[in-house]
């Protein structure tokens, strides 16, 4: 595929994803401007990621810090999202490159990020990853472990908790993800009420279920396959 064909394919796929988001917002009586499409570029080269950015999709997500480092150097000027596990020994190099960490999955990582944010004098925007599906293979806080963090979250100085993130169990039926998304939204609402934190963000929904996630309040959807299938 030459550069012109690549650009055409990506433009069509991005437009299609945005149209599906807009239609889901219409069903939920939401403003599409309240949903950010994060293109998960982990399966493609920096060249493909650069085309996406040039087409106006400025929020890109990576699962592995090392891959994020490489792409952030090759594709500057975009909002990078870390959506995978962040090891504490990679915080120093990763955090200056990212707009949002979606995947704070333990108190140890939260504490390390808080210490880094205090040291540099700028709070780090993060989301807490919550395992609302209950799958043993998934990381994140158990839902019943989130509320006890309330007082701690409100007192953090090096981190700004912006909301919550989850992944639903994969299914051919997108509707099966709905209870997971409802659970995250209700947990966010209860935590916000208890702590007084705004918590505006809900990162939930991927290629197979993002429309359901939008209907249930997602503000960030992480889409890879829909945009990049068959590309590299």
Per-residue DSSP letters for 4-27?
Answer: HHHHHHHHHHHHHHHHHHHHHHHH
Phi-psi region of 121 (alpha: psi -120 to 50; beta: other; left: phi over 0): left
Tens of pLDDT along the chain (232 residues) come to: 788 999 999 999 999 999 999 999 999 999 999 999 999 999 999 999 999 999 999 999 999 999 999 999 999 999 999 999 999 999 999 999 999 999 999 999 999 999 999 999 999 999 999 999 888 888 899 999 999 999 899 899 999 999 999 999 988 999 999 999 999 999 999 999 999 999 999 999 999 999 999 999 999 999 999 999 989 7
Tokens (6 digits) for 58: 């400025």
| Contact (CB, 8 A) for 157 and 196 | no
Residues linked to residue 101 through DSSP beta bridges, in sequence order: 82, 126
| CA angle, residues 8, 37, 125, in degrees to nearest 5 | 140
- The whole-angstrom separation of Cα 3 and Cα 210 is 28
Q: Mind listing the domains of the chain with CATH numbers?
A: 3-228 (3.20.20.10)
0.85 exceeded by pTM:
yes
Per-residue DSSP letters for 93-136?
Answer: HHGGG-SEEEEE-SHHHHHHHHHHHHHHTSPEEEEEEB-TT--T
- The whole-angstrom separation of Cα 9 and Cα 15 is 10
């Amino acid at each position: 595929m030459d550069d012109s064909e690549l650009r055409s394919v990506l433009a069509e796929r991005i437009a299609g994803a945005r149209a599906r988001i807009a239609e889901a917002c219409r069903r939920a009586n939401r403003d599409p401007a309240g949903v950010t499409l994060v293109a998960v570029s982990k399966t493609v080269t920096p060249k493909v990621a650069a085309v996406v950015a040039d087409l106006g999709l400025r929020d890109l997500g990576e699962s592995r810090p090392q891959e994020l480092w490489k792409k952030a150097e090759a594709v500057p000027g975009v909002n990078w999202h870390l959506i995978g596990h962040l090891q504490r020994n990679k915080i120093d190099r990763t955090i200056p490159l990212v707009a949002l960490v979606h995947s704070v999955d333990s108190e140890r990582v939260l504490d390390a990020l808080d210490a880094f944010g205090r040291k540099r004098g700028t709070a780090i925007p993060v989301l807490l990853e919550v395992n609302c599906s209950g799958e043993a293979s998934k990381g994140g806080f158990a839902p019943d472990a989130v509320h006890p963090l309330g007082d701690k979250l409100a007192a953090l100085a090096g981190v700004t908790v912006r909301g919550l993130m989850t992944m639903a169990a994969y299914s051919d039926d997108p509707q099966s993800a709905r209870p997971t998304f409802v659970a995250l939204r209700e947990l966010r609402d209860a935590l916000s009420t208890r702590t007084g934190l705004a918590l505006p963000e809900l990162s939930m929904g991927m290629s197979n279920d993002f429309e359901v996630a939008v209907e249930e309040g997602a503000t960030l959807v992480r889409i890879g396959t829909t945009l990049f299938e068959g590309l590299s």
